[in-house]
Amino acid sequence: MAPTKKGILERLNAGEIVIGDGGFVFALEKRGYVKAGPWTPEATKEHPEAVRQLHREFLRAGANVMQTFTFYASDDKLENRGNKLTYTGAQINEAACDLAREVANEGDALVAGGVSQTPSYLSCKSETDVKATFKKQLDVFVKKNVDFLIAEYFEHVEEAVWAVEALKETGKPVAATLCIGPQGDMHGVSPQECAVKLVKAGAQIVGINCHFDPETCVKTVKMMKEGVEKAGLKAHYMVQPLAFHTPDCNCQGFIDLPEFPFGLEPRILTRWDMHKYAREAYNAGIRYIGGCCGFEPYHIRAVAEELATERGFFPAATEKHGPWGSGLEMHTKPWVRARARRDYWESLKPSSGRPLCPSLSVPDGWGVTRGHAELMQQKEATSKDQLKQLFDRSKTQ
């Protein structure tokens, strides 16, 4: 029998660095396996080989958590706005667990089952209804015996607390991450207060994922840590940001940017930006460091390489990557060989190659959140009349 792996809390309690994986939704959308809009993970059944391969690439890059590809896999989201699938939520979630476990067993990785915010909450359904939606996913995670659970991508701390309470009933370790910035959640609850609420609800690991760039997310986790410590509580901290620069975002994050979701490529962080992110997160006391939308395996490799001294090893993918560009020593062109040094890449200010484009955008600011009629969800497809109203409104913003 293979030796028993240390659990997530054992690793964090021992001060180990845990590296998460990247953003499956965006990565698989670019590869042609996820549909932008619903962002649902039916690829676990339709194209399991694509999901498996991406898990393997993140494992090779240095990740030691394989997060199940179950983002937006609650039944109410799978059926939202005319989305019609061949497979049930249970089938999609079970396949996701099997794929993550298969690849995790190829290395020293754990499997994390994840739940995320629901259309039921946005449509003002009751706490009982929302928790029942989570429970359907949790039943699969318990059946498949994932190693720990993550409640991720919550804009409202109230719903995140409900998720944590539901997850705690399984008896497994629970992490909780909000997709908020320094301004707090969508109802104005500060990061400090959000973190306290999550810890009191039972989360052992708290932090931020998605919606903002690494700099903003690390700053927000610092605020959460401050709040938890001031309240006399204890927790571990995690961060899984975007791989896009978002200095111009408001409280809603990158989904308010006019480039979302199909024009974000000019904002992508370089691998060298990821070195800086990993170091700043580590110095802030964050020990679970991963990525979300926009993160590709080479980004995670950069995180793992930056923290190789602290971890005691390089990831397998370093085999094909000279640290700080040292592989360029083998290049045929002398001016490219001259770039085989750390100070060159650390000081580089990349150009976009787009001379007529601005460096910053003006985000949308509709101010719509839970409780507003425009955010009520429906099973039926969005009608032409509903779209016309949105198109007309967008012209006046």
How many structural domains are present in the chain?
Answer: 1
What per-residue confidence (pLDDT) applies to 203? 98
What per-residue confidence (pLDDT) applies to 337? 96
Is residue 2 over pLDDT 60? no
Q: What is the pLDDT of residues 10-60, one digit of tens each?
A: 999 999 999 999 899 999 999 999 999 888 999 999 999 999 999 999 999
What per-residue confidence (pLDDT) applies to 66? 98
Examine residue 232 and state whether it is found in any structural domain, yes or no.
yes
- The CA distance from 371 to 390, in Å, is 18
- The CA distance from 39 to 120, in Å, is 16
What per-residue confidence (pLDDT) applies to 384? 81
Examine residue 389 and state whether it is found in any structural domain, yes or no.
yes
What per-residue confidence (pLDDT) applies to 52? 98
Bridge pairing between strands 110-115 and 148-154: parallel
Q: Note whether 196 and 227 are within 8 A (CB).
A: yes
- Point out the least confidently predicted range of 193-202, 257-266, 365-374: 365-374
Examine residue 368 and state whether it is found in any structural domain, yes or no.
yes
Neighbours of 203 (CB within 10 A): 28
What per-residue confidence (pLDDT) applies to 168? 98
Is residue 104 over pLDDT 80? yes
- The CA distance from 206 to 203, in Å, is 7
Examine residue 175 and state whether it is found in any structural domain, yes or no.
yes
As a whole number, the mean pLDDT across the chain is 93
pTM (whole model) above 0.85: yes
Examine residue 2 and state whether it is found in any structural domain, yes or no.
no
Q: What is the pLDDT of residues 156-166, one digit of tens each?
A: 999 999 999 99
30's enclosing H/E stretch is: helix 24-30
What per-residue confidence (pLDDT) applies to 362? 87
Q: What whole-number percentage of the chain has pLDDT above 90?
A: 82
What per-residue confidence (pLDDT) applies to 381? 76
Is residue 178 over pLDDT 80? yes
Closest by CA position to 210, among listed 200, 195, 199, 221: 221
List, as residue ranges, the binding site.
210, 292-293
Give the range with max mean pLDDT: 271-275, 319-323, 376-380: 271-275
Burial zone of 323 (CB within 10 Å; 0-12 exposed, 13-18 middle, 19+ buried): middle
Q: Which residues of 270-302 are buried (b: 16+ CB within 10 A; e: fewer)?
A: ebbbbbbbbebbbebebbbbbbbbbbbbebbbb
Q: What is the mean pLDDT of residues 118-140?
A: 93
Examine residue 169 and state whether it is found in any structural domain, yes or no.
yes
- The CA distance from 393 to 107, in Å, is 51
Residue type at 153? Answer: Y
Pair of tokens at residue 392: 């007309």
What per-residue confidence (pLDDT) applies to 77? 67
List, as residue ranges, the binding site for Zn(2+).
210, 292-293
Q: What is the pLDDT of residues 325-384, one digit of tens each?
A: 999 999 999 999 999 999 999 999 999 999 999 999 888 877 777 766 666 767 677 788
CATH of the domain at 191: 3.20.20.330
What per-residue confidence (pLDDT) applies to 112? 98
What per-residue confidence (pLDDT) applies to 3? 62
What per-residue confidence (pLDDT) applies to 373? 66
What per-residue confidence (pLDDT) applies to 187? 93
Examine residue 357 and state whether it is found in any structural domain, yes or no.
yes
What per-residue confidence (pLDDT) applies to 37? 87
Q: Note whether 12 and 205 are within 8 A (CB).
A: yes
Task: Report helix angle 48-61 to 297-306, nearest 10.
Answer: 20
Examine residue 178 and state whether it is found in any structural domain, yes or no.
yes
Q: Note whether 99 and 346 are within 8 A (CB).
A: no
Q: Residue 74 — very low, low, confident or very high, per pLDDT cuts 50/70/90? A: confident
Q: Which residues of 90-108 are buried (b: 16+ CB within 10 A; e: fewer)?
A: eebbbbbbbbbbebbeebe
Boundaries of domain holding 16: 8-396
